[in-house]
A and B are shown apart, each in its own frame.
Chain A
Amino acid sequence: MNRTMMAASNTLGQLQKQIDVISNNMANVETTGFKRGEASFTDLLAQQLNNQPNQAAEVGRLTPLGIRQGNGAKIGQIQNVQSQGSLKTTNRDLDVAFTKENLYFMIGVEEGNVIRLSRDGAFYLSPNGNENMLVTADGHTVLDENGNDIVIEGDIKEIQISDEGVLKAIKTDGGEQTFNLGVVSVQKPQFLEKLGDNLYGLPDNYDGLGVTADDVLTELTGASRTDISMKQGALESSNVDLSKEMTDLITAQRMYQFQSRSITMADQMLGLVNSIR
């Protein structure tokens, strides 16, 4: 009975985590550039019980001796699904959306000392005297391909962003300034961590795992910039499918019910043992 209760309560705790992931997905169904998480299960360690150690008594047995008993299920991994979200046309000059998977903008946080990644292309101009700096909605700077802030001088008449990530600012006096937007292609997207505020980054301990930043992501410069594909005047919606999330939630709730039913049954069996005398 004890084993039954342990297996069921282990699984209950892990089901709770799956429900957390699902509810986070559902809460972010309107967030620009959000990539949904998916939790998948794996079973826990199986222990071998040698309930018949006398091999001579098991004549004619064709399977390995003893019985294997499991201990419930746990979350194997939570993966971020990188599928492309649908594009929402906003006709705003400073809105950009990637049209290919695994491409991210480079965003500078903490005065530009730390570089983070983002799929959210809703940019703004932050005025500073005669200059305008390209920033995100939280005020973090958008970086160009060399990791520098994008600062546009003078009065701006129009901003054009090409499909290959070239930002051209046309001034009122006829002058132009072009920048190459910093774009990163991520090879191992499961290595990125969600950091909140639509930002992604490498985990703090990745050095200790024997992985270099080059293994995980590639900054696109020069000839590799032909891989970039983006669209001005549109934003990428989140790739959360509400009907799938609701179905997963219902399944998780029913699994939760089954586990608590197992605990109740184990408790009743213990009650039967207690009431023998």
Chain B
Amino acid sequence: MLKGFYTAASGMLTQQRRTEMLTNNMANANTPGYKADQSSLRSFPEMLLNRMVSETIPNGNGKNMPSFAQVGSLNTGVYIQETNPLFKQGDIKQTDLKTDLALVHSEMPIDEQTGVAGALFFTVQNGNGDVRYTRNGNFTLDGEGYLTTSGGYYVLDENNERIQLDNDQFTVSDNGVILQDAAQVAQIGIAYSNDPAGQLVKEGDGLFSADAELTNAYDEDDVFFTIKQGYIESSNVDAAQTMTEMLSVYRSFEANQKVLQAYDQSLNKTVNEVGKIG
């Protein structure tokens, strides 16, 4: 088959994956604490191309000896290599619910070790004890009084214990201390990751999982943040930019399809018109 056939097909497949990612971003433009996905494309490894050459051997009979001459290198396709979440701060929206919390931070410092900006998260735990991280601060009180996410994951305090409250008449100060009837109950546990794209994997339901436990954000010296009660962090998806990207991805898909059609025409000639009699 013609080499470029599969290259064009891989191009179409990549653009399809990008559309799926952009559609998911678009669908979650209203989800609190959602971090938009970004993709990076990578071409397949390069191949060296050779050209067949026929050299005449000077031995009197004029025999031909085939050899190869290098032409250059060629990539044979493209694929989506990574979909990394963008951990930019989303806009803060005021709600009237005392159980809504928003993590607000200014520019995160570029970490010395990893060279990328860090990110902060609420720490949550499911019934089995698995720890996850989230930015979706739309919490609620369950029947037993534990502070949970909408999916039922328990919010942890700075000692990794569940937080139990009597009712929703509590206040949360800027540094995360929960006060109920003027008595301190707990401090909301905030985790810090110095390489968020490298450590965290999106699971869905607003949760991120990490292989290793993240550090306590209160211990980090140059990381400043506040926790605001009665506010929620909106999604950081830019609807206009996402829509524009979807349009350009569609046109790229169409261009690859035209290349496929051109190859189809060439193959048509090869199959049907070479050696045609009459």
Partners in one complex: yes
Partner of A45, one of B168, B203, B264: B203
Q: How far is the CB of B216 from chain A (nearest CB, A)?
A: 23
Cβ of A135 to closest chain B Cβ, rounded Å? 30
On chain B, the residues within 8 Å of A70 by CB distance are 21, 24, 27-28, 37, 202, 204
Check if A45 sits within 8 Å of B257, measured CB to CB.
no
Neighbouring B residues of A277 by C-beta, 8 Å: 261, 264
A130 an interface residue at 8 Å Cβ cutoff?
no
Task: Please determine whether A1 and B202 come into contact, CB atoms closer than 8 angstroms.
Answer: no
Among A145-153, A160-168, A172-180, A208-216, the one that faces the other chain is A208-216
Which of A73-81, A107-115, A136-144, A193-201 faces chain B? Answer: A73-81
Most chain A Cβ neighbours within 10 Å, of B17, B20, B45, B239: B20
Chain A, interface SS category: mixed
- Asked if B143 and A46 make an inter-chain contact with CB atoms under 8 angstroms apart, the answer reads no
CB of A187 within 8 A of CB of B232, answer no
Residues of A within 8 A of B217 (CB): none
Name B143's contact: one of A8, A61, A215, A266 (CB within 8 Å): A215
B151 engages A42 (CB within 8 Å): yes
Q: Once the chains bind, are B205 and A43 in contact (CB under 8 Å)? A: yes
A102 within 8 A of B: yes
Q: Return chain B residues, CB-CB under 8 Å to A262.
A: 23, 26-27, 246
Give the interface segment out of A19-27, A230-238, A268-276. A268-276
Residues of chain A lying within 8 A (CB to CB) of residue B45: 57
Among the 9-residue stretches B60-68, B77-85, B182-190, the one with 4 or more Cβ atoms under 8 Å from chain A is B77-85
Q: Is the CB of B143 within 8 A of A40?
A: no
Report whether B232 and A40 are in contact in the complex, using a CB–CB cutoff of 8 Å: yes
Shortest CB distance A79–B (Å): 6
Q: Which residues of B contact A222 (CB under 8 A)?
A: none
Least CB distance, B115 to chain A, in whole angstroms:
10
Chain B residues closer than 8 Å to A221, beta-carbon distance: none
Do residues A8 and B23 form an inter-chain contact, with CB atoms below 8 A? yes
B206 contacts A67, C-beta separation under 8 Å: no
Q: What residue in chain B is nearest A8 (Cβ atoms)? A: B23
Measured between C-beta atoms, what is the minimum distance from A21 to chain B in Å? Answer: 13
Specify which chain A residues have a CB less than 8 angstroms from the CB of B130 in the assembled complex.
none
B274 to chain A, nearest CB (A): 19
Q: Is the CB of A188 within 8 A of B145?
A: yes
A58–B142 alpha-carbon span in the complex (Å):
44
The answer to whether B31 and A73 touch across the interface, beta carbons within 8 angstroms, is yes
Residue of B nearest to A12 (CB): B27
Q: Roughly how many angstroms separate A209 CA and B39 CA in the complex, as a whole number?
A: 42
Partner of B246, one of A44, A45, A186, A265: A265
A255 CB, nearest partner CB in chain B, Å:
6
Tell me the residues in window 51-76 of chain A with beta carbons closer than 8 Å to chain B beta carbons: 51-52, 57-58, 61-64, 67-73, 76
- Show 9 A/B contacts (Cβ-Cβ < 8 Å), sorted by A: A43-B34, A48-B201, A67-B81, A70-B37, A71-B24, A188-B145, A266-B19, A273-B257, A275-B257
Residue numbers of A with Cβ under 8 A of B are 1, 3-4, 7-8, 10-11, 38, 40-46, 48, 51-52, 57-58, 61-64, 67-73, 76-77, 79, 81-83, 101-102, 186-191, 206, 209-211, 215-216, 239, 251-252, 255, 258-259, 261-262, 265-266, 268-269, 272-273, 275-277
Shortest 4 CB-CB contacts between residues of A and residues of B? A211-B143, A76-B150, A45-B204, A187-B167
What is B's interface to A at a CB cutoff of 8 Å?
12, 16-17, 19-21, 23-24, 26-32, 34, 37, 39, 45, 79-84, 95-97, 99, 136, 138, 140-145, 149-151, 166-169, 195, 197-198, 201-206, 232, 239, 243, 246, 250, 253-254, 257, 260-261, 264
**Additional 8 contacts, C-beta under 8 A, given A70-B204, A258-B243:** A57-B45, A67-B17, A70-B37, A187-B145, A188-B142, A252-B30, A273-B12, A273-B257
